[in-house]
Amino acid sequence: MKLEDIKTTILGTTGSGKTSYLLGMYAVMQTGVQGFTLSARDMDVGLDLIERWEQLLSLKGEDRWPAPNAGTIEHYTFDFSYGFRAIEGLEWVDYRGLALSDRSSQQDVHDLANYLSESKCLFLCISGEYLTDKITPNTVREIKSDRMNQFIQQCISNNHNPSKEQPFPIAIIITKYDLCHHRDKQAVIEDIRKLFQALFTPDSGWLVMICPVSLGKELCEDPDTGNIVPVNNHLPIVFAVYSQLRTYGIELKEKRDNINKHINNCNQNTLLKMLKNQEIKQNNEELKTIDQEISTVEENMQLLAKELQQVSIFLNGSEVTVGV
């Protein structure tokens, strides 16, 4: 089984922690979860990511953190594998975050809009530094949630037509969660739901995960020398792949149903049955392959779902437990 590359865009203001998150996620996914690993398709890119991660681990002081992105948009292509067999490609787009700011140029906005329109999964990056207390009208301005909502409506809703049957996956990643760890987690989740109300309305076609991540508990006290121990960094990727498999599984089942219907139709009529004998044979072979593929998809989903039990996931506005 090898699925097409999923394009993933991460939206978040400059300084919200997107690049640091990417480095942590990549480092954690080298070891992997449940036998799933991630590797950069271009080995040099992989080495560069690891080098930047090691800098974060070994340096003390401000220099440990990634330098602000130079280019407007940086692309990474990864292979997501199980037992080192690639099941899915992931294209990751990291950018400076300017397109969310008031200083954005037409070009920034245009590029981002294009990426979003082609994306199969969206990550929203919200920094915990703005969630240390109950949200105020000011929070919307700080994290640019209105601008994010606008992009979701214009580039995703209008292009992908998410529906109850085919929901669009969005991971809301609360980066630097160490900074709001003192708050009740449910209260933080409620605040997020208020900021992105449309994503939690009934029957609206959104599959939303709210996921706190951090590069280390000690960082809230001491970002420059605190220990780096990533928490939850793998979950958004697991969610992205899980939701892709979910969609693929639904497509396979539809295909199976259609073939079954066709065979039944032919079988009802003796003449047709004779005439289409060859075709029915072929259909039965096809069914075998599809059944095998469905079990592979479901086995993988089962393994990934285990990891997702610890985070809040909402489907069409209701909290759900993910399974197969």
Ligand X SMILES: Nc1nc2c(ncn2[C@@H]2O[C@H](COP(=O)(O)OP(=O)(O)O)[C@@H](O)[C@H]2O)c(=O)[nH]1
Residues interacting with ligand X, by CB under 6 A? Answer: 12, 14-20, 65-66, 97, 175-176, 178-179, 214-215, 219-220, 223
∠ at Cα 267 (266, 268), nearest 5°? 90
- Hey, CA dihedral for 99, 102, 105, 106, is it positive or negative? positive
Structure tokens at 257: 């149903």
**Closest distance to Mg ion from the beta carbon of 49 (Å):** 13
Binding letters toward Mg ion, positions 179-218, x by CB under 5 A:
----------------------------------------
Looking at beta carbons only, is 20 or 119 nearer to ligand X?
Answer: 20
Query: Considering only 64-72, 120-128, 209-217, 283-291, which stretch makes contact with Mg ion by CB under 5 A?
Result: 64-72
Query: Considering only 62-70, 143-151, 181-189, 277-285, which stretch makes contact with Mg ion by CB under 5 A?
Result: 62-70
Check if the beta carbon of residue 180 is closer than 8 Å to that of residue 132: yes
Check if the beta carbon of residue 240 is closer than 8 Å to that of residue 38: no
**Closest distance to ligand X from the beta carbon of 134 (Å):** 20
215 binds, among Mg ion, ligand X, none (CB under 5 to 8 A by kind): ligand X
Looking at beta carbons only, is 89 or 223 nearer to ligand X?
Answer: 223
65 binds, among ligand X, Mg ion, none (CB under 5 to 8 A by kind): ligand X
**Closest distance to Mg ion from the beta carbon of 123 (Å):** 13
Looking at beta carbons only, is 99 or 241 nearer to Mg ion?
Answer: 99
Looking at beta carbons only, is 68 or 323 nearer to ligand X?
Answer: 68
Residue with nearest beta carbon to Mg ion: 19
Structure tokens at 91: 């294209």
Looking at beta carbons only, is 223 or 317 nearer to ligand X?
Answer: 223
Place of tokens 């397109």: 99
Quick one: angle between helices 43-58 and 18-31, nearest 10?
A: 110
**What strands lie across the sheet with 121-127, from one edge to the other?**
36-40, 73-82, 85-95, 3-11, 121-127, 168-175, 206-212, 312-315, 318-320
**Closest distance to ligand X from the beta carbon of 24 (Å):** 8
Looking at beta carbons only, is 210 or 280 nearer to ligand X?
Answer: 210
Structure tokens at 40: 């950069």
Alpha carbon of residue 55 to chain centroid: 26
- Type of residue at 80: F
CA distance 171 to 31: 22
Looking at beta carbons only, is 18 or 147 nearer to ligand X?
Answer: 18
**Closest distance to ligand X from the beta carbon of 10 (Å):** 8
- Those residues whose C-beta lies under 8 Å from the C-beta of residue 79, and which sit 6 or more positions away, are 38, 39, 41, 86, 88, 89, 90
Looking at beta carbons only, is 181 or 273 nearer to ligand X?
Answer: 181
Structure tokens at 316: 């069409």
- Those residues whose C-beta lies under 8 Å from the C-beta of residue 236, and which sit 6 or more positions away, are 25, 123, 171, 173, 209, 211, 213
Question: 30, 34, 55, 69: which one contacts Mg ion (CB under 5 A)?
Answer: 69
Binders in 15-44 for Mg ion, by CB under 5 A: 18-19
**Closest distance to ligand X from the beta carbon of 165 (Å):** 34
Which positions lie near Mg ion, rule CB under 5 A? 18-19, 69
